[in-house]
Amino acid sequence: MARVSQEHLDARRRQILAGAARCFARNGFHGTSMQDVLKEVGLSAGAVYRYFAGKDDLIAAIADDAFGGIRHAFEDAAEITPPPTPDVLLGRVLRTFLAGQLYGMERRTCAALIVQVWAEALRSDRLSKAFGDGYAGMRVGWAKLVEAYRAAGLMHADVSADDVARTMIATAQGFMVQEALFGGVEPEVLENGLRGLMSMGPQKIS
């Protein structure tokens, strides 16, 4: 029997995930059955269950791909020397991620699916742990960037690295939510908004 190549296995896995993602985007996680997924991808139950034991496995894999795409885009942008300022960095991350458009989905549909995945993490301990681990890693990455900003004289030494990390992650998440709900949100809007906020000087509180 001929050995199936890893490339073929990877392509089949992605085919299944892309079909499941389309189903989830149309009908939501709880409104989609495994039969719906089988029909969407045009494969037998045996072919699909070879890769995924059930719907929870599909959701977890989609979540991992979505979070991984954002993480890799962030890591690539963060390797630039000198480090780009937050407005430039977040703009690059979002452009890179949106250019990849998860499973070839239309951008707003992709953003809506990601928001659904986040919501599902409130129900699933498995997803909650995976997101918690990824979130912790992102906070560590941003903390290292803050150190680089300090070394370059771009940020005051008394600024909390973790506060910056959580704020920047929240900004990216908010961008995705706006795109999911309203559409037409461009990275330039986020860049310009952050740049405007960064131009403000400290306010004296009486």
Burial class (CB in 10 A: 0-12, 13-18, 19+), 132: exposed
Across the chain, what does the average pLDDT equal?
85
| pLDDT tens per residue across span 159-204 | 888 998 899 889 989 998 999 999 888 889 999 999 998 888 766 6
Can you give the pLDDT at residue 124? 87
What mean pLDDT do residues 54-81 have?
80
Decide if pLDDT at 206 tops 70: no
Q: Among positive and negative, which fits the CA dihedral 192, 198, 201, 206?
A: positive
| pLDDT tens per residue across span 11-40 | 899 999 999 999 998 888 889 999 999 999
**Cβ(70)–Cβ(172) under 8 Å?**
yes
Can you give the pLDDT at residue 130? 82
